[in-house]
Amino acid sequence: MIGRNAEIAVLSRMIAESRAGQGNAVALYGVAGIGKSALLEEAAGRAGEHALVLRATGVEAEAELPYAALHLLLRPARHLIDRLPDGQRAALRGAFGEGHAGVPDRFLVGLAVLTLLADLAEERPLLCLVDDAHWLDRASLDALTFAARRLAAERITMIFAGRDGAEPAIGGIADLRISGLARSDCERLLAGSAGGLTPEARDRVIEEAEGNPLALLHFAGILTPEQRAGHLAPLPLLPPEPSMAGRLEQSLRATIRRLPERARLLLLVAAADGSGSLRLVLRAAQAFGAGPEDLEPAEHAALIDVSGDRLRFRHPLVKAAAYHEAPLARRTAAHRALAGVLVGEEHADRRAWQLSAATLEPDEHTSAVLAAAGERAAGRGSNASAATAYERAAQLTVDRERRARWLAAAAESALGAGQLPRAAAAADRGRRLAADPLLLARLASVRAAVEAEQGDPAPAAHLLIAAAEGIVRIAPAQAASLLATAAGEAWFAGDRGALRRIADLLESLAADVEARLGGVIAAVRGMERVAAGDPATGLPLLRAALPPGDTTLLTDLPRGTGSGDPRLPADSGARPMTAEGPPAADTLPAAPGGERPAAGDARQAAPSGAPPAADGALVVVSGGGSDRVAGTYAVFGALMTGDDDAACELAAARVAACRAHGLVGALPHALQLLTQAQILSGRHAEAAASGAEAWQIARDTGQEGRLRHLHGILARLAAIRGEDDECRRLAHQAEGSARERNGSGWGGCALTLLDLVRARYDAAAERMAGILDGPLGHTVIVTFAIADYVEACARLDQPARAAAAFARYDAWAQASGRPWAAAVAHRCRALLAPRQRAEAHFEAALAPQAGRPFEQARTRLLYGEWLRRARRRADAGTQLRAALHGFVELGAEPWAERARTELAATGVHAAEPGQSAAGAALGTLTSQELQVVRLAATGATNRQIGAQLFLSPRTVGFHLYKAYPKLGVSSRAELAGIDLGPPG
């Protein structure tokens, strides 16, 4: 190749690294004709005969066919599908339309792709080349990019090639931009491919081509002998166009116009088909009187290649030129002819889209055909394709209610695909047409989800309330679902009036919904009371949401299904439960005749064909649905009432259920809940592992809203560890762009904690005062952070400033009945009380079995400081040594440093405490290594661990190989002798 040394060096290095066991991926971007396909060919050549090369090419005509490109790419690996873990095998077969296990989680499909490719790479290194990625069907792109982001230790290189500015973008992997050739390289290319040009002609061609190799060769090839000799007309070679691709297509269209009519017609049919099937094109072209002999002029003009049963355009721009050169009537006739020869169930989707392209006026038959295609796409987990089919079905029907119904399905599908503006537009159009209250409720729930994600949760809550009020009499279960969602939005908005109205409506429905939802109804009233400043009434009601001693309601998830998407690849907008509030119970109520699937769990689609919608969304209709919503409210109830052990247990059960059932998209939400519970209970090392895994999977699945929540939560861990820059970065990402709503207050409270340990008391007090007065002042983390505000005010010698806030906390602590909460309340009293009364409160704050070791260590630090100022150095040393031990064990380095400083000031020289053996072992491992070795210690195989953690078996082995020397072991069996904590 000419002029591509730098790009070839990058690709060669990647191939060498993957051959050595370091998998990688890259996306090549450039304008049409710039040489992306040539670079893919060069990479294939450099991979050598010892590598296996898999190829797929996006086809514009197949962009709405679910998993079309993936099916093509994986043909050489089909023999390995039966070796996949059960859930992955079922998901992949379901994606290919070969199973009936329910809607496949498209990210579990991605994990199946990763495992399949990894198994294939065990035989020899693998190079996956995906050309024209901008035309891949969205389902294939999601699965392939999920695998590409998690290659780690695989002998795999994946190279995508796509056009600049084309959608969808290939996110989450490195990119390589391909620019035009330098002039000297253009001259070399022309010298080798278009000799005989005079300098003037050569200069003119180079000027027109702008460094584009395809344009160089094409423009040089169409010159007349007079032009090649330099006798050029004064006008440019081409009419003015805004882009090189446009000028090149105009030139190609001129070339096609010079072909015989039947050759042009045959090229038109081939372009309209797009699949490259010569047999199919020739059958359809018979309608125009064209046959195989009419291919010859196009072959001589170097526009197409024909080999065996395949017809290939030399470049996508040739195909575009062949199609757009034909008038509209001929294009529609070509599509109609193709639809006529696409017979059989296996061609149903392609036939539907050919009929769509051939239909210019409303047509009820074609509308129904496209709606059926939408249902099939939804059933295979391809929400983006389903949305397109439903939208087109709506365009082609004249029946008002039917159009509204298809728009509702399109809106739900777009929401499930994370296409929020598209979902909002379809929902708005549907709401203007619909009269059925149930349909209006579905549309309102989509619109509310978009509002919650893109703006203020308050309007989302009111939309849902209004929708629920419209169906309370005809569909109480669906109304309850909407109200459970609305409660979460109103909680985040701090809208007490909305919460009160929701609680009233839910209580009025108590007799009409399942008994197991009684806890949810009580919990919503409890939320309303807590937000109103009445925890004495609210917390007992929230405790009613906790299960009576079992966690089965969190593990009762459907087998064989997965998370259609929590906002995947972008956050769909349903508010998931955090420690601050319950989830949206379900943004999509059930359609008549069936349960509305939630994108967080991707249930089987309802008969209407509507697909999954939103992460964390839970359905309050069937028994299983009520279990799920009750389970999620149970975690919230435990967090809100300060029951750390129950919160950890319930959240861990949710995580285990997601792993067991392959709910890849729902797992980050479950891990987020577990991370929050672990942080609050002082299990910082475990929280770091859970949070890191949640962040990784959320990033790999494109859950932007989930990442915002996680950034705020992880910011608190960074503050505890003293990672100042990281804390500020994470807190800003959580709160900065979302008006401190999507982050739920965690980011702001993390910055307050950091200011506190760094002795920036003014900043801590000011920040916390603002949060307490804002819409999040009643939330869980803000309630717990009142103690930080009290400490900051005490340090400023302004105890009265914190009095009102402490009264709020004290009321909550008394209502909670938690020993740790009472201990923190005593610590706050010690800080606010006169000196002569402080010690009694400090002593009370150190009551045994209080819980929350981080808070206990902080109490001992403050008490030790107080004792030192009272010149009781020995007593101070006792408390400060205990504080130091606690902080070191928790990895709270800046707090440990404060304890060391205070100890030094007492004149007591204590031995530096070390972590326990378990703590030291945990500290040597990365978060991923920790997860792997914990599961390996249970006897799980690499393949079983990979299925649990959504990794390939080889990557699991890689992590074990790195972990063994850190732990001082050499085999799996030795792991059993190390206290690594619980797996998962």
Place of tokens 């972590």: 915
Q: Tell me what the mean pLDDT of segment 453-457 comes to.
A: 73
Q: What is the mean pLDDT of residues 321-345?
A: 94
pLDDT of residue 593: 26
**Average pLDDT rounded to a whole number, residues 5-9:** 95
Radius of gyration of the chain (CA): 32
Confidence of residue 223 (pLDDT cuts 50, 70, 90): confident
- What per-residue confidence (pLDDT) applies to 557? 43
Do the Cβ atoms of 960 and 930 come closer than 8 Å?
no
Q: What is the pLDDT of residue 616?
A: 28
- Whether residue 580 has pLDDT greater than 60: no
| pLDDT at residue 16 in the model | 94
Is pLDDT at 194 greater than 50 in this prediction?
Answer: yes
| Segment 581-585 mean pLDDT | 42
Distance of alpha carbon 800 from its chain centroid, rounded? 46
User: Which residues contact residue 80 at a Cβ distance below 8 angstroms, ignoring those fewer than 6 apart?
Assistant: 116, 119, 120
Q: How far is residue 415 CA from its own chain's centroid?
A: 13
Contacts of 81 (CB under 8 A, 6+ apart): 89, 92, 93, 116
Percent of the chain residues topping a pLDDT of 70: 87
Residue 238 has pLDDT above 80, yes or no: no
* pLDDT surpasses 50 at 560: no
What is the pLDDT at residue 234? Answer: 42
238: its two tokens: 């081409």
**N-to-C CA span, the chain:** 50
pLDDT band at 198 (very low <50, low <70, confident <90, very high): confident
Q: What is the pLDDT of residues 640-680, one digit of tens each?
A: 999 999 999 999 999 988 888 888 888 998 999 999 999 99
pLDDT of 611 higher than 60: no
- Contact between 666 and 682 (Cβ < 8 Å): no
The yes-or-no verdict on residue 627 having pLDDT over 70 is no
- DSSP β-ladder status, 24-30 and 156-163: parallel
153 compared with 268, residue with greater pLDDT: 268
Look at 568 and 697; give whichever has higher pLDDT: 697
pLDDT of residue 771: 92
Least confident among 229-243, 472-486, 964-978 = 229-243
**Structure-token pair, residue 900:** 């060391």
| Residue 180 neighbours by CB under 8 Å, 6+ apart | 34, 210, 211, 212
Closest Cα partner for 922 from 908, 934, 910? Answer: 934
pLDDT greater than 50 at residue 598: no
Region 485-512: what's the mean pLDDT? 92
At residue 420 the predicted structure's pLDDT band, cuts being 50, 70 and 90, is confident
Q: In the structure, what pLDDT confidence band is assigned to residue 945 with cuts at 50, 70 and 90? A: confident
Mean pLDDT comparison of 413-417, 447-451, 882-886, 961-965, highest-scoring range? 882-886
CATH architecture classification, 364-637: Alpha Horseshoe (1.25)
For the ranges 231-245, 357-371, 914-928, the lowest mean pLDDT is seen at 231-245
Going by pLDDT thresholds of 50, 70 and 90, the confidence category of residue 953 is confident
Q: Is the pLDDT of residue 588 over 50?
A: no
If pLDDT is split at 50, 70 and 90, which confidence band does 130 have? very high
Write out pLDDT tens, residues 841-858. Answer: 999 999 877 789 999 999
Task: Please give the residue that has the higher pLDDT: either 549 or 677.
Answer: 677
CA atoms within 13 A on the CB side of 976: 5
pLDDT band at 354 (very low <50, low <70, confident <90, very high): very high
- CA atoms lying within 13 Å on the CB side of residue 311: 27
- The pLDDT tens digits for 256-303 are 999 999 999 999 999 999 888 999 999 999 999 999 999 999 999 999
Residue 921 has pLDDT above 90, yes or no: no
Query: Is 477 in contact with 620 (CB distance < 8 Å)?
Result: yes
Find the range with the poorest average confidence among 180-184, 372-376, 615-619, 759-763. Answer: 615-619
The CA distance from 747 to 728, in Å, is 8
> Tell me, what's the pLDDT at 620?
29
- Separation between Cα atoms, residue 51 and residue 348, nearest integer Å: 36
Dihedral pair phi/psi, residue 619, rounded to 5°: -105, 135
Supply the pLDDT for residue 907. 81
- Helix, strand, coil % (nearest 5) of the chain? 65, 5, 30
Q: Is it the case that residue 916 has pLDDT exceeding 80?
A: no
Does the pLDDT value for residue 562 go beyond 70? no
| pLDDT for the residue 912 | 67
Calculate mean pLDDT across residues 953-966. 88
What confidence tier does 467 reach under pLDDT thresholds 50, 70, 90? very high
Tens-digit pLDDT profile for residues 670-685: 999 999 999 999 999 8
As a whole number, the mean pLDDT across the chain is 85
**Residue 240: pLDDT band by 50, 70, 90 thresholds?**
low
Looking at mean pLDDT, say which of 18-32, 99-113, 601-615 comes out highest.
18-32
Please say whether the beta carbons of 303 and 267 come within 8 A. yes
**Is residue 737 scored above 50 in pLDDT?**
no
Summarize the confidence of residues 556-576 as an average pLDDT: 33
Check residue 372 and give its pLDDT: 96
Reply yes or no on whether the pLDDT at 769 is more than 60: yes
What φ, ψ does residue 174 adopt, rounded to 5°?
-60, 150
Tens digit of each residue's pLDDT (9 = 90 or more) over 49-87: 889 999 999 988 888 999 999 999 999 898 899 999 888
The owner of tokens 């008391």 is: 761
- Residue 607: per-residue pLDDT: 26
Q: At the top level of CATH, which class does the domain 919-977 belong to? A: mainly alpha
* Chain position carrying tokens 């070679």: 237
Closest CA to 10 of 34, 32, 21, 26: 26
Q: For the segment 781-840, what is each residue's pLDDT rounded down to a tens digit?
A: 999 999 999 999 999 999 999 999 999 999 999 999 999 999 999 999 999 999 889 999
CB 229 within 8 A of CB 201: yes
| Lowest-pLDDT range of 220-224, 652-656, 878-882, 916-920 | 916-920
Query: Can you give the pLDDT at residue 167?
Result: 66
- Rounded mean pLDDT, 454-469: 89
Question: According to the CATH classification, is domain 5-177 in 3.40.1260.10?
Answer: no
- CA-CA distances (angstroms) from residue 505 to 439, 497, 621? 20, 12, 17
Q: Output the pLDDT for position 919.
A: 59
CA dist 580 and 586 (Å) reads 17
Considering the entire predicted model, what is its pTM?
Answer: 0.84
Residue 575 clears pLDDT 70, i.e. is over it: no
Helices (H), 396-469: 400-416, 420-433, 437-454, 457-469
Contact 220, 194 (CB under 8 A): yes
pLDDT in tens, 323-333: 999 999 999 99
Tokens 């600049």, residue located:
164
